[in-house]
Chains A and B, each alone.
Chain A
Amino acid sequence: MEAARKSAKARLEAMGLPQRRDEYWKYTRPDLLTTTDMAPAALLVTDEAPLFDAIDRLKIVFVDGVFDAQASDDLSLEGLEISQLKDAPDWAQSLYGVLEENGQSPVARPLAALNSAQAQQGIVIRANAKVSKPVSLVYVRKSDTSDAILHHVIRVEEGADLTVLENGPAAARLNTVMEVDVADTGAFHHVRAMGRDHERRAATHIFGRLGHESVFKSFTMTVNGKLTRNEVVLDINGDNAVAHVAGAAMGDGDFLHDDTVFITHDSLNCESRQVFKKVLRNGATGVFQGKILVKEGAQKTDGYQMSQSLLLDDDSQFYGKPELEIYADDVMCSHGSTTGAIDEKAMFYLQSRGVTKIEAQDLLVLAFLDAAVDEIEDAAIADDIRGRLEGWLARRRD
């Protein structure tokens, strides 16, 4: 592991920290993520019940980025091998930093290399079978100056099926890397809710490798937060694999949310889907940088990319760069992007039927976001997420 950290450090030194002039940081200022002079972030006071509370799960708690054994469940569940990063077994040690390194080309991701070089906290999970309940990573924040680095290593073996949940603000500033290696016929589901604290900053990275007939599905809900940069880098190198990445984000005021996705197709007959929806108001900013790369020979690829933003007022902004790079001829790849205000005709329709203006708007916002939430397979988890989106809107009515 020390060797992997050293090599990550060398990578980081070679590429340097992200700069505003970097093409991949064109729309998101990296300063808040890299500055050593970190402003404190106030803690959010809320009486809401914690997310996923009603779901039967294996709970693992980190407080300000540090594992909390007392608050966590026993690290044991049938079909799973689970341990802290510091106790990583050989298989995890040899995977640590590998997928992250693969994901550094052709686009450099310095904050991920920084993570691999420095991370001491995290969890390693190996799923050997269909796991009966989700592993839930709960990120509690108690300090207004915590600067956390978490690095998780996950391996889903052949025929295994694992769901990982993540929620909570984690730290005033957070940098995570999750390396997910899905073996042939394995399935990995991931649902994440970023913390609602207004001033938190986060840079997250998921590096996935998909084997034959494997499934990878990830959904992220983001409401609030000063700066969120979520990068997902997937390498599909088994035939007939399926990869879905989705996100629903709502921002009000000083909010920047950036989804940066890079999906590489390097095998036959695979499917990838990107569905990102953003609702922005009071000067919030949304960014989407999505890419599908279809390598030579990756025939019969079905790649889809959709990025849509609702600007609820004139101060909010959206920046998009939906890219395709295709070197195979027998493929279906498409992308769409729309940006604009809420549909006035739909508003009028609802209002003319007695729905108040604010209710009509909320209804349309929820309907708009639902195409992303729909990507969550588990109905109970999806409902939990929907409830949070509704709650967020309801709180803004007063």
Chain B
Amino acid sequence: MAAANEMIAKEGVEEETVDAVRTLADNYKYGWETEIEMEYAPKGVNPDIVRLISDKNEEPEWMTDWRLSAFERWEKLEEPTWAMVNYPDIDFQDIYYYARPKSMEEKPKSLDEVDPKLLATYDKLGIPLREQMILAGVEGAEAAPAEGRKVAVDAVFDSVSVGTTFQKELAEAGVIFCSISEAIREHPELVKKYLGTVVPASDNFYATLNSAVFSDGSFVYIPPGVRCPMELSTYFRINAENTGQFERTLIIADKGSYVSYLEGCTAPKRDVAQLHAAVVEIIIEEDAEVKYSTVQNWYPGDEDGNGGIYNFVTKRADCRGDNAKIMWTQVETGSAVTWKYPSCILRGDNSQGEFYSIAITNNHQQADTGTKMVHLGANSKSRIVSKGISAGQAQNTYRGLVSMHPKAQNSRNYTQCDSLLIGDKCGAHTVPYIEVKNNSSRVEHEATTSKVDDEQMFYCRQRGMGEEEAVALIVNGFAKEVLQALPMEFAMEAQALVAISLEGSVG
């Protein structure tokens, strides 16, 4: 990693920060490939491929029709070009849209029947597919103290879900956690009621493509009043070459329920870029709360910008009921190109949306990410905290929208975006949109570190801290609080990023 090691930090940037970024730029640890016999659909996309995917998943006719109408729509759409990312044209006909391990042809009835090679893959990634009392998750899990917490995992390998753990125990609590293909078969009434209601099939170019060709993904339903007894997680692995992964996640938190959901992803190192276009829809009813956390670690490409994943993702949560809450937390370190805006529709009165993001780009990575906070309900609140760190020749853009509609009386938004540049060949950009259509709401957007909560500042200053020290403490403390709210294994991976100082920041 010559480029990363030669990274020269400017004065005022702490050594720790540089180290943290350098470590992240180090050899991608998940770049190996599983040798496994695969079954592919023919390359390219057309109505026959859409039907074939639907067929493979044994879907009912209404689902096939839904896909086909999405495909029809997609053919009329144009690829968006407004994001600050540059990449060679994607030949959408030169991609495999469906790839599954041959051993998955007959659906394994239990994890014992799953191909050992697949189990070994997840084992190597640190994702336990055995139901055991250890921390599931990413690197470093073995070293973490086992607190006996359980995490249920849905493991998606290329186009199919390999298995979902703890289903029985979850079912006892009334929670449905399974692959979306299974949900379409087993719970059609729920899927029919909610699918496409947050991200319509015609939403945007990539979401529409996903609607036509999504092969698998996760489905979660938390019944009224249920606090999900464990954390749920999905782990996405792209393995096959020239394959696109199109997963679809649908999460429904019924009245008064709560769930914390985690998502992780990796892919092998390859010279040729691969496409990943996912859709995540979350429905949150009255008094319910969902926490959605992502550590996105797709292969970022090599130091010369060859290969890597093109990550075009549409994520949106709809706080339908009063007092509904959504919290998005994302740690974005992977992908050659990221195009991702986890958004919140704050429809219910007193609903709350939060978005916490740390995006790190290095070498030739490009990230254009942010959020939309659409305030429709009265007294709705939102908070955006975004930290972008750019090194090498990378480009990092925050793009966001805060919209206060006329009926969103007494609503509140606070946005803070900070960017840090390490090296003089990279870029950091901020593109916020602010739309205010009533006067009882307050919208604040800041890109400086000077306006942290005055009372906290006063407290720190009163005790003899310098202004910068106080700001760093407060903002870091705040970020830490968020990251610590993540499950242990995620927090551990993210810890390297928390150390990053705010000094020398630009917004």
Q: Which residue numbers of A lie inside 8 Å of B, CB to CB? A: 23, 296-297, 299, 309, 311-314, 316-341
A324 CA / B425 CA spacing, docked (Å): 16
* Pairs across A and B, CB under 8 Å, 9 listed: A321-B434, A324-B428, A326-B429, A327-B427, A333-B506, A334-B506, A335-B445, A340-B442, A340-B443
Contact between chains at A336 and B446 (CB < 8 Å): yes
Q: Please name all residues of chain A whose beta carbon is closer than 8 Å to the beta carbon of B443 when the two chains form the complex.
A: 337-340
* B29 nearest CB across to chain A (Å): 28
Q: Does B212 sit at the interface, judged by CB under 8 A? A: no
Contact between chains at A324 and B507 (CB < 8 Å): yes
A324-B506, A334-B506, A339-B436 are known contacts. Are A329 and B442 too (CB-CB below 8 A)?
no
Contact between chains at B427 and A325 (CB < 8 Å): yes
Select one of B10, B82, B440, B444 contacting A314, CB under 8 A. B440
* B139 nearest CB across to chain A (Å): 30
Which of these binds chain A: B19-27, B115-123, B253-261, B416-424? B416-424
* A307 nearest CB across to chain B (Å): 9
Contact between chains at A335 and B424 (CB < 8 Å): no
Contact between chains at B429 and A324 (CB < 8 Å): yes
Give the residue name and chain of the A residue nearest to B432 (CB): A322
Q: Please name all residues of chain A whose beta carbon is closer than 8 Å to the beta carbon of B442 when the two chains form the complex.
A: 338-341
Known: A314-B440, A335-B448, A340-B439. 8 other contacts (CB 8 A): A320-B433, A320-B434, A326-B419, A327-B427, A329-B10, A329-B421, A336-B444, A336-B445
* B386 nearest CB across to chain A (Å): 13
Number of interface residues of B (CB under 8 A): 40
Q: How many A-B residue pairs have CB under 8 A?
A: 119
A329-B421, A336-B446 are known contacts. Are A309 and B427 too (CB-CB below 8 A)?
no
Q: Please name all residues of chain B whose beta carbon is closer than 8 Å to the beta carbon of A334 when the two chains form the complex.
A: 446-448, 450, 506-507
Q: Does B107 sit at the interface, judged by CB under 8 A? A: no
Q: Does B441 sit at the interface, judged by CB under 8 A? A: yes
Q: Does B482 sit at the interface, judged by CB under 8 A? A: no
Contact between chains at A319 and B424 (CB < 8 Å): no
A312 CA / B442 CA spacing, docked (Å): 13
Q: Please name all residues of chain A whose beta carbon is closer than 8 Å to the beta carbon of B11 when the two chains form the complex.
A: 330
Contact between chains at A314 and B439 (CB < 8 Å): yes
Contact between chains at B434 and A337 (CB < 8 Å): yes
A59 CA / B428 CA spacing, docked (Å): 46
**SS class, residues of chain A in contact with chain B:** strand
Q: Please name all residues of chain A whose beta carbon is closer than 8 Å to the beta carbon of B451 when the two chains form the complex.
A: 336
Contact between chains at B440 and A341 (CB < 8 Å): yes
Contact between chains at B507 and A329 (CB < 8 Å): no
Q: Does B266 sit at the interface, judged by CB under 8 A? A: no
Q: Please name all residues of chain B whose beta carbon is closer than 8 Å to the beta carbon of A312 when the two chains form the complex.
A: 439
Q: Please name all residues of chain A whose beta carbon is closer than 8 Å to the beta carbon of B439 when the two chains form the complex.
A: 311-314, 316, 340-341
Q: Does B362 sit at the interface, judged by CB under 8 A? A: no
Contact between chains at B434 and A339 (CB < 8 Å): yes
A335 CA / B430 CA spacing, docked (Å): 10
Contact between chains at A335 and B447 (CB < 8 Å): yes
* B94 nearest CB across to chain A (Å): 31
Contact between chains at A331 and B424 (CB < 8 Å): no
Q: Please name all residues of chain A whose beta carbon is closer than 8 Å to the beta carbon of B433 when the two chains form the complex.
A: 319-321
Contact between chains at B438 and A329 (CB < 8 Å): no
A25 CA / B172 CA spacing, docked (Å): 55
Contact between chains at B507 and A340 (CB < 8 Å): no
A337 CA / B433 CA spacing, docked (Å): 10
A328 CA / B428 CA spacing, docked (Å): 9
Q: Please name all residues of chain B whose beta carbon is closer than 8 Å to the beta carbon of A316 when the two chains form the complex.
A: 439
Contact between chains at A321 and B431 (CB < 8 Å): yes
A341 CA / B412 CA spacing, docked (Å): 12
A317-B436, A325-B429, A336-B446 are known contacts. Are A23 and B82 too (CB-CB below 8 A)?
yes
Contact between chains at B424 and A297 (CB < 8 Å): yes
* B506 nearest CB across to chain A (Å): 5
A23-B82, A329-B422, A329-B424 are known contacts. Are A318 and B436 too (CB-CB below 8 A)?
yes
A331 CA / B439 CA spacing, docked (Å): 35
Contact between chains at A329 and B430 (CB < 8 Å): no
